[in-house]
Each structure stands twice: as structure tokens, then as C-alpha cells.
Structure 1
Amino acid sequence: MSCGGVGVEIAFIGAGCNRIVNNVSWGACDLVAFGAQNAVAIFCPKTARILTTLPGHKASVNCTHWLPSNKFAFKAKQLERHFLLSGDADGAINLWEVSLSDRKWRRVLQVPQPHKKGVTCISGIMVSQTDAMFASTSSDGTVNVWEVILPSTVEGDCKLSCLDSLFVGLKPMVALSLAELPGNTGHIVLAIGGLDNKVHLYCGERTGKFVHACELKGHTDWIRSLDFSLPICTDDGTHSLLLVSSSQDKGIRIWKMALRSSLPNSNGTYRKEEISLASYIKGPVLVAGSFSYQISLESLLIGHEDWVYSVEWQPPSTDSAEGIDYHQPQSILSASMDKTMMIWQPERTTGIWMNVVTVGELSHCALGFYGGHWSPNGDSILAHGYGGSFHLWKNVGVNFDNWQPQKVPSGHHAAVTDIAWARSGEYLLSVSHDQTTRIFAPWKNEACLSDGDSWHEIARPQVHGHDINCVTVIQGKGNHRFVSGADEKVARVFEAPLSFLKTLSHATSQKSSAEDLQVDVQILGANMSALGLSQKPIYVQAAYDTPDRTGNDGLDTLETIPDAVPVVLTEPPIEEQLAWHTLWPESHKLYGHGNELFSLCCDHGGKLVASSCKAQSAMVAEIWVWQVGSWKAVGRLQSHSLTVTQMEFSHDDNLLLAVSRDRQFSVFSIKRTGTDEISYQLLARQEAHKRIIWACSWNPFGNEFATGSRDKTVKIWTVGKESVKLLITLPPFGSSVTALSWIGLDRQSNNGFLAVGMENGLIELWSLSIRRTEDGSIALPSVPSVTATLVRQLDPFMCHVSSVHRLAWRNSEKSRNCRSMQLASCGADHCVIVFEVNVD
């Protein structure tokens, strides 16, 4: 079969948000940007899908900011191109451009003179359609202010100029906001807040230096967030600007800056417009050129019970079709570590600011919100939390407020270490150093989007107390089961409860197979133990008999945490359901290894599981083989002297391949001698590469396998009767090879694709064709028996931005028969990606 064109599209990206304040930005383009490790991830709130991950940062992304931001959405209705700023933990700031019509991205530039330490906040304003200003803070004690002239043509250049660099002292600043001063004065005000508990106001002109104008005192702890309203012009002609600040002292303050007069000494003119009942505390006077502004404390908002990490004014709405006049709503959104977001508005009659909406109060396992953001039209609010999760509420009421939770993308918030497809490919299982196991699946009966199935996280079967390193799905018949291995010496076996089986039948719309299983399954769900290590079953009968029990199956109540309520999901779940109510019970623990578990695999018949652990000696580097069902250890295979990094059974289950840090591979023959006995023999061990071997994969149609190494090579080998021979070495790759997966396309011509993942995050697809002689053995050495062709280098904007940890082709019969396949990958950038691969 000749490989014509190979088309690759992204079917799904799952990723969690970095646990850091200022990481999320919702732009006027109605897209949300956030940092996921080194990547800048973009998601569309309307479809709850992550669209892309932008490569370009060498360190973890700390903050993002759209130009124009949601504050300027009223000006941006006609804009075809939007821009995004992102800052990372090394101090670098990138500027990106997106074209809304075709969703094409490009990195326009990297801001010169990067900060010496991590960027903590970026904030910008649109001065005109093509002119923007932004400021950035860093833990190096500086604040830089930039002007950027956006290009007027497609692919045009941005002009960037540094207006000022302010040294703000040894106590770093972590919050920023910029605004144009009211009254057409041509002056810009910059508010900075941080560790010294004060709000510092700097004043400057459009073109140049900023001077320290005054300080606002009142907060008693770090200032975490600042946001200016747009200039407000009231009916009596007074011009003012409002600034809201929030702090770790749990309080929120609103400051009013009222234009006094163009001449500082004409006291008579501003007396009458100066004081209202609301402005009850006079503050300092801010002088900008020949203009001065009286600052007063407008209001103090008390209601949160923990640090208030973010405050944001509701974006203005336009009063005219041209988008010139705008109405600034008197409405503030705050997000706190007390697990709530609140909307504050002044009462109509008294003008006193009140909390009018509260959302949140999440389950006990959520540790609060790091930030809250308005949608551009003000009808939705988004929070991001400690667990890397998003929480979105939309106001669906017509004549009254009715805020309801909405679907959002989800994913891991630490490196994803391993993935495995379900037996028939119905779902994808992933494990991570964020100590969770997650299940992602296409939800069939949802109102389908035009571009295929809508993928969602449908369960979180394991929430653990250790980082999880490896997983394997047990492939045989019977209930859905998997084994996971973490930074502990025990492998744990999990079995799907009834609630998951019913959820899966809703997701896949395949009632029959799930119903067959459900008859036998007596476990409804699982509860977590206090230390977060074991998950205890909740039985169907017990759940129905004692719905109001207070204890937890007779355990000491001090050691228990609130009972999970296993739920059958009829539509894709939101974070609050996933985090607690979709656990699977643990059925067995496998003891034997001397160190933390590192890799796992299961044979295709579902009879055996092999496991390995981190090792520095031959004794500890043993591969243990377990009998599925009885879970007896039936083999201890010795061959390697350092950690076995990956193992895989051949497709006839007669051979087990292992690769190791000691640069060698081993091939064992496995024979099943009785009901629960096996005999095994080391067929071959060979030093195959110059560096660590990270990955291996068998040819689905024969006894050939591939190995991939840190030495940037991939080699194809064949297992003969007595020895293993090298068939071909692929041309050197640009980076260490960290993941491999081989799929068969055509058994008659012995064709297949080998997916190669690298340490730099990139993925390549190679076509491998193996010619055999009549008797099925490999052709004579004089004839090249393997033809390898590079068929596709995946676009960097589709790939991972750091090391690929695992690749896995979807093992469904459907993909074998047609020219459409799915490839899953996971990486150190917190992402799980599913690619749709189409062969012409």
C-alpha cells in the first residue's frame, strides 16, 4: 500500500490550568487563554474545547493577557485579529496573533529586555484600534511599561517600544492595572500593588516616563489584584475613574478618582462636585500635569472568608452601533480562596455596595479559586481553582439572575505520565503526577458539533496520595479493570463500579454490552479513605438500605471524610461531580517491588500483567508477572541492572519485550503451563543504543519491534529462532526519542505506521513496510526487508511543548478496516491529546 497524503487533525486536548494567580485571561474575542506548564492553551467557552496549545515558552507560563481584553470588547466587534501576551517563570514575554476567521496562530515577537525573574502580572489597555499599552511586573522588583503598535495588515509587524522601566523596591509587586485618566487629559495612570500592602499610583503621558504620584493605604496584607474601570462621565459633567483592589486581608476596596479641575489652585470649582455621601474618606490628591484628581475611598466590601485573589469590573456594554459610547456597569466580580466567587453591586436607593450573587462552595477537596473572569458580554463568569480546574457559571435567567454551572474543558495539572485505551477503545485512561487517574471519552448522544464527537472527562476513578507513574488496562473479557502504579511500592487494581458502567452506556449509546455487565456488578461506587490511598467500595445493597447513614461502614469516624455519592451521568459532568463521585473501588494491592512503580503492561488476552519499578541494581530491576484474577505473582524476570522503562507483550502474547535505562532490551518467551502457572525464558538481551532506551513497540503483524532512545535514534529489530537482528536504523531525530507506538494498516502487505514522540514535544509518523519471503521469515540480508518513510511531521501548534511521555493508537476494530485512526499522546506539558489520522 503506498502512503498518499496523511491528514492529521486534533480531536481532543485535555489540560489543566497552572496553579497560579493571573494565569487566565478571557479576551474580547471570546476565547480564554491559560498557562498549562510551558504551553499557552486556548479554549473556547461556547464548545468547552481546548483549541490549541502554543509552543514558545521554555519555562512554566505564569500569566496571560489579551489585547483587547474583555474590558474593550465594545471596541473590538469589527476586529479580525486579536493579540495575546504571555509571561513565564524565566521572565520572558511573548506576543501572539490569532486570526479569528481561520483560527490561525503565529508568534509575532518575544519582548526584548526580559525580566530577570518570573513575570507575575501583565495588564494592558487599548488606546486606539491599533495602539495598545501594557505593563508587566516581576519578582525581580521591576515594572516595565510598553507601547505596542499593532499591525494594520495581515502578517504585518508589531512595533514595540519601552516607555519606562520602574524599580519598585525589594518587596515585589504582583498586581497591576492601567487606565487613561478621565477628562481627555492625555495622561495614563498605573496602579501597582504587592507585598507592602499599599496601592502605588504612577502617572505618565502616552509617550514617556512614569512618576510616582501617591500611595493608597488601608489594606493590611498583600494586595493580590487591581482593576480600573473605564472613565465615567456622569450627567452633571463630572469625570471620575474607579479602582478596585483586593487583598489577602480578605477585604475589597473601591477607590474613586474624581477630576477636580484643570488648575490646582482654583478651589472654588471642585468644592461642589467633590463630596457625596458615598465618598466618606478623603484620600490623597493625584496630580497629572496641570490636572488633579481627588482620591477617596468609595467603599469597603467585606464578605469573603479567605484571601481574595482577584477582582474585575464587569466589561462595558455599547450604547451605539459604532461602539463609541459605552456604559460601564457598576458590578464587580471577586474570587477567593474561600471557594466562592461573588458579584458586588451598589443598591439602587442607598448606593451601598452589596454582594448580590455568590457561586461556588465546592466540595471539600477543592482548595479555593485563584482567579475569576467575566465573559465579554457579562453573562458568564469563569473561575480557576487549586486543582487546575475551571468552573463556569452562566446567567440563564430572563428577568432575574439564575447562575447555572456550565461544561468546561478539564485535564491534569501536572505531567501526564501514561495513557491506555479501553479494551474496545471506548475511552482513554490517563495518569499523572497530579495524583489522579482520569477517563476521557467522546460523548456520542450529545448535540454533536459539526467537527465530530465532543470529548469530555467522564470519570476520575482514582484520586491518590502519591504521584502516579504508570497504568495498564486489563484487556481480557469481563468488567473494565486497570492497574496503576505510583510513587509507592504497591500496584493497585481497580474495577469499574455500576455507576460508571451506566454512565459509559449513556456516553457511547451502546446499551447492550453495558447492560450485560451490570447484572453481575454489585458495587455502585467508591469512597476515599482519609489519607487518600485506598478506595473502599460502596455496595449497591448498602446504598439502598441505609441512605442516611452517618458512619462509614463502621470505620472510626475521625478517619473518614464525607461519603461519595456515586452518580450515573446522563450528560458530560462538571468538576464538582468528577472530583468526588466517580471513584472506582480498589479490588487488590500487588506487593513485591522494592521501589516506586515505574511501568506496567498487560497482555492482549487479559491473563497477565507485568510490572517494573525504579532500580539501581539487578535485584530490584526484576520484572514481576502477575496472574489476572488470582493476582498471584507467577514470575520474577531478571535481566536488567537499572530501571525497566517500558514493557510490551507481542501481539500473540508469546513474547515480552522490556527496555531499560541500562541501554539494553530483553526479549522473554512466555508459556502458560497451567491454569495459574507460566514458564519463561530469556531469549535475548542486547545493548541496543548509546543512551537510555525510553520506548518500545511491537509490530502488530509479526515479531518485529522498534526501540527509541535518548541517543535520538529509532531502531527496528526482528526476533528469529535463536537471536534478535537489527533490520534498520531510522535517520537521527532532532531530539531524544521518548515514545513509540506501532499500528498495523494492512496485514497482507505488512504495512503499518510508527508514531514517534520526542523530548521536544514533536511527533512524527513513519510508514513501515516489511517484506517477507514465502515461508514467512524475514527476507535474506542482501534484500532490504524494511522500508521506512517519513509520512508526516505534525505541526508544532498541534503537538506537545515539552517531552512526550507515551503514544497509543486506539485499538478499535473500526480503525483497522477504514483509513481513519486515532492516536493518543500525553506529555510533561500536562496535556492529553487525541489526533485523528486519515490516510488517503
Structure 2
Amino acid sequence: MSLIDESFELREIQRLEGHTDRVWSLAWKPATGIGGVPAVLASCSGDKTVRIWEQSRLTGSFECKAVLEETHTRTVRSCAWSPSGKLLATGSFDATTAIWDKVGDDYECVSTLEGHENEVKSVSWNASGSLLATCGRDKSVWIWEVLPGNEFECVSVLQGHTQDVKMVQWHPSMDILCSCSYDNTIKVWAEDGDSDDWHCVQTINESSDGHSSTVWALSFNSSGDKMVTCSDDLTIKIWGADIMKMQSGDGIAPWKHICTLSGYHDRTIFSAHWSREGIIASGAADDAIRLFVPGENGLIDGPTYKLLLKKDQAHDMDVNSVQWSSAENRLLASASDDGTIKIWELAPPSGK
């Protein structure tokens, strides 16, 4: 039975309060929420802080365990855990990226990465944790190599976008980086095997079925053969690539448009995130969350995606980020301009 054949509701299980300004971004800590390890969530805000939330073993409720402050001097826009969960990277409008390590019960800033001319908008680790990507309002994408002793060396500054870069995201299994921008494009970056130079191998724009306005976010499915993007043009687009070709070393297979989801949000779509089991969540400036799942494959038009459920008034203001837990617990976290984070559970309707 497919997900579309089942009945679900998105049930709010907790509202997390503590930030004093809009909450921009969320990141679930890897390898938590499973095997008796409490789930851990990081959030970052316009209040210049990062908060670490941990689920209680006894009550199941999330509690704020740490507030990371007095390091960034402006809005903290993005946060991301390294694959091991040891380090947390945070990008700020103060033009720096901070690297945090947990020492005992406290988190310490062990490195500060400088170089962007102004606001850092997004941070992302590659699958092995050996590389960190950052991007910003200065239209550039930076790739940092992680060295021993919490040292970071910039190995490439990628110029190609003509406007503010909103997000960077590494492929889940290969060192391929995607970025999306205010210039309405998505760019795919890869390293040249001969020269070790990073370069753009594909630009997805409106002429290639891309978006017609700012692209705010992107996310890969767990197998890495599909990508979802969302935009100010009120659409969500699904892309596919021949992952087998890329894994075999036969070059970079281009991303091709699969389908466009439109008519589900009536204001800018800020966030889209793919769960491990293939459910796409979207959050938007209409204060709503939508969930999509694969539908029946069309014989002519190819794969389709269907609305699983909609949650209107999920927050009192814009939904800036939606993030599925990496554990198989169907927990979704959302962050909003209203200063709150909500934890949701995708579950059968009450009474069933």
C-alpha cells in the first residue's frame, strides 16, 4: 500500500518557545531519536542565538539544553550538524560561520570562518564531513576543507550566481554541491578530477523548466536520485538524475525536470524537505505546511506527486523552515517568523 492510499493527520505535539525573534532554520542532530538516544534539534534566530533542544527520555517533551550566544553579532540564518553530529556550523548575517563543539555539557565556538563580504545565508556539510559549503548575499559559494584540530581551509570560492545565494546543499552520497539563488537559478558544482578545481557543471533556469523567481531552498531524497526545489514563483519542482551513471564515474548526469507542483501555496515557498521515506514537506509565507507523496506513475507524463495533506495556520506567521527528523519516527519540525518552533507527528487520524 502506498502512502497516498493511507489516511494521516499532522498532529502538533509541542510548541517550543524561547527565541525572541523569528526562527530561520532548524537542524536535527544525526543519529539521535533512535536506539534510545534522545532526539536533538538545533534552531537559529534573528535574536543572534542558537538553541539546542533535547527530547526527554521520561516525558518525550523537548527541552532547551543550551543557548549558544555572544558569538554572532547579527541574525543567525542557518545551522547544520556535521554527519557525525560532533560539530555544529552556524552561518550569520555578521558575515561569519561559527563551528561549535560540545565540550562536557557546554557548546564552545572552536573556529570562526571569515571571508564572505556580508550575510552568510546557508551552511552545509558533505556526506563524509570532510567539506563544508557556505554561501551568501555576496553571490558567492565557498568550499572549506576540514583539517585536524578544528581547522578549516577555503579550497574554492565559486562565482557564478548573479544575485544573493539562498541555500547550498550537498548531495547525500557524492561530493556534488547544489546552490539556489535570488537570480532564479539552481547551479550544480563538481570538482574537476584532473585539476581539483571546482566548477559549475549545470545551471537550471527558466529555459530548462526552472523557476521564474527566487529559488529559496532545495532538498534531496534519501537515495539522491531526486531533488526538490521551491520558489517565490509559488511552485515546487521535482528533478531527477541518473545516479547510477554518476556513481560509475561516467561523468555528471544532468538534472532533468520531472514535474511541477503549483496551486498549493499562495505566497512564497521558503522551505521544502524530503523525508527518508519519500514525503516532501513544504513551508511558506502563507503560514501553511503541505505534505506531498509520489502518486501513480503517469504512462505519458512520467512520475507524479500528490498532496497528502495540508495544514493551514500551522503558525501565526511565515513558515521559514520545515525539517523531517532523520530517525524513522515521522517527526517534523517547523520554524516561523512568530518566534516559535513546532514539533509535529505524522500519524493516523485520532481514534484510528
State the TM-score bracket (shorter-chain normalisation): 0.7 to 0.9
* TM-score, normalised via structure 1 length: 0.37
Tell me the SS of whatever aligns to 2:91: strand
Does 1:631 pair with 2:163? no
Match of 2:218 among 689, 693, 696: 696
Does 1:421 pair with 2:28? yes
- Kindly provide the amino acid, as one letter, of the partner of residue 726 in structure 1: H
Q: 1:490, CA displacement in angstroms?
A: 1.8
Tell me the SS of whatever aligns to 2:294: strand
Does 1:6 pair with 2:8? yes
- Kindly provide the amino acid, as one letter, of the partner of residue 825 in structure 1: S
Whether the 8 Å contact between 2:218 and 2:229 is mirrored in structure 1 is yes
Tell me the SS of whatever aligns to 1:600: strand
Q: 1:11, CA displacement in angstroms?
A: 2.2
Tell me the SS of whatever aligns to 2:339: coil
Structure 2 Cα separation of the partners of residues 740 and 672 of structure 1: 32
Does 1:436 pair with 2:49? yes
Structure 2 CA distance for partners of 1:437 and 1:739, relative to 1, 3 Å: same
Does 1:793 pair with 2:306? no
Structure 1 Cα separation of the partners of residues 193 and 13 of structure 2: 40
Alignment-derived partner of residue 491 in structure 1 = 97
- Kindly provide the amino acid, as one letter, of the partner of residue 753 in structure 1: I
- Kindly provide the amino acid, as one letter, of the partner of residue 736 in structure 1: T
- Structure 1 segments unaligned to the other structure (5+ residues): 16-410, 501-583, 616-620, 746-751, 772-780
Tell me the SS of whatever aligns to 1:711: coil
CA RMSD of aligned residues (A): 2.2
Structure 2 Cα separation of the partners of residues 637 and 703 of structure 1: 24
Q: 1:678, CA displacement in angstroms?
A: 5.2
Whether the 8 Å contact between 1:430 and 1:437 is mirrored in structure 2 is yes
Does 1:744 pair with 2:284? no
Does 1:471 pair with 2:84? no
Match of 2:237 among 715, 720, 728: 715
Tell me the SS of whatever aligns to 2:279: strand
Whether the 8 Å contact between 1:648 and 1:657 is mirrored in structure 2 is yes
Structure 2 Cα separation of the partners of residues 755 and 678 of structure 1: 36
Match of 2:325 among 810, 823, 832: 810
Q: 1:461, CA displacement in angstroms?
A: 2.5
Structure 2 CA distance for partners of 1:685 and 1:726, relative to 1, 3 Å: same
- Kindly provide the amino acid, as one letter, of the partner of residue 762 in structure 1: A
Alignment-derived partner of residue 359 in structure 1 = none
Structure 2 Cα separation of the partners of residues 770 and 623 of structure 1: 38
Match of 1:760 among 286, 295, 298: 286
- Taking the TM superposition and a 5 Å limit, the aligned residue runs for 1:371-450 are 411-425=18-32, 426-445=39-58, 448=59
- Kindly provide the amino acid, as one letter, of the partner of residue 652 in structure 1: S
Structure 2 Cα separation of the partners of residues 657 and 782 of structure 1: 30
Whether the 8 Å contact between 1:423 and 1:476 is mirrored in structure 2 is yes
Structure 1 Cα separation of the partners of residues 336 and 192 of structure 2: 35
Structure 2 Cα separation of the partners of residues 595 and 719 of structure 1: 34
Does 1:681 pair with 2:288? no
Q: 1:829, CA displacement in angstroms?
A: 1.0
Structure 1 Cα separation of the partners of residues 69 and 81 of structure 2: 14
Does 1:731 pair with 2:253? no
Does 1:830 pair with 2:347? no
- Structure 2 segments unaligned to the other structure (5+ residues): 33-38, 243-251
- Kindly provide the amino acid, as one letter, of the partner of residue 702 in structure 1: G
Alignment-derived partner of residue 821 in structure 1 = 330
Structure 1 Cα separation of the partners of residues 212 and 310 of structure 2: 25
- Kindly provide the amino acid, as one letter, of the partner of residue 220 in structure 2: W
Residue-by-residue CA offset, 1:630-655 (whole Å, 9 max, x unaligned): 31112222220111111211111332
- Kindly provide the amino acid, as one letter, of the partner of residue 475 in structure 1: P
Structure 2 CA distance for partners of 1:788 and 1:628, relative to 1, 3 Å: same
Q: 1:669, CA displacement in angstroms?
A: 2.4
Q: 1:604, CA displacement in angstroms?
A: 2.5
Structure 2 Cα separation of the partners of residues 655 and 436 of structure 1: 30
Tell me the SS of whatever aligns to 2:105: helix
Does 1:658 pair with 2:179? yes
Structure 2 CA distance for partners of 1:795 and 1:689, relative to 1, 3 Å: closer
Between structure 1 and structure 2, the one with the greater Rg is 1
Q: Which has the higher contact order (CA 8 A, sep 6+)?
A: 2
Match of 2:301 among 778, 784, 809: 784
- Kindly provide the amino acid, as one letter, of the partner of residue 2 in structure 2: S
Structure 2 CA distance for partners of 1:490 and 1:622, relative to 1, 3 Å: same
Structure 1 Cα separation of the partners of residues 269 and 345 of structure 2: 22
Alignment-derived partner of residue 354 in structure 1 = none
Structure 2 Cα separation of the partners of residues 492 and 767 of structure 1: 36
Structure 1 Cα separation of the partners of residues 133 and 47 of structure 2: 24
Whether the 8 Å contact between 2:81 and 2:89 is mirrored in structure 1 is yes
Structure 1 Cα separation of the partners of residues 31 and 96 of structure 2: 27
Q: 1:719, CA displacement in angstroms?
A: 2.9
Structure 1 Cα separation of the partners of residues 341 and 127 of structure 2: 24
Q: 1:423, CA displacement in angstroms?
A: 1.8
Alignment-derived partner of residue 65 in structure 2 = 458
Tell me the SS of whatever aligns to 1:735: coil
- Kindly provide the amino acid, as one letter, of the partner of residue 728 in structure 1: C
Large movers: runs of 4+ above 6 Å: none
Whether the 8 Å contact between 2:276 and 2:326 is mirrored in structure 1 is no
- Kindly provide the amino acid, as one letter, of the partner of residue 786 in structure 1: P
Q: 1:671, CA displacement in angstroms?
A: 7.2
Structure 2 CA distance for partners of 1:428 and 1:671, relative to 1, 3 Å: farther
Structure 2 Cα separation of the partners of residues 653 and 423 of structure 1: 18
Structure 1 Cα separation of the partners of residues 64 and 8 of structure 2: 28
- Kindly provide the amino acid, as one letter, of the partner of residue 667 in structure 1: V
Structure 1 Cα separation of the partners of residues 73 and 158 of structure 2: 29
Structure 2 CA distance for partners of 1:655 and 1:645, relative to 1, 3 Å: same
Q: 1:429, CA displacement in angstroms?
A: 0.3
Does 1:591 pair with 2:114? yes
Whether the 8 Å contact between 1:439 and 1:460 is mirrored in structure 2 is yes
Tell me the SS of whatever aligns to 1:496: strand
Structure 2 Cα separation of the partners of residues 476 and 704 of structure 1: 24
Q: 1:499, CA displacement in angstroms?
A: 2.1
Whether the 8 Å contact between 1:654 and 1:671 is mirrored in structure 2 is no
Structure 2 Cα separation of the partners of residues 636 and 791 of structure 1: 40
Structure 2 Cα separation of the partners of residues 659 and 710 of structure 1: 12
Structure 2 Cα separation of the partners of residues 441 and 672 of structure 1: 42
Does 1:600 pair with 2:109? no
Structure 2 Cα separation of the partners of residues 839 and 810 of structure 1: 18
Q: 1:839, CA displacement in angstroms?
A: 5.8
Alignment-derived partner of residue 65 in structure 1 = none
Structure 2 Cα separation of the partners of residues 715 and 649 of structure 1: 18
Does 1:613 pair with 2:136? yes
- Kindly provide the amino acid, as one letter, of the partner of residue 759 in structure 1: A
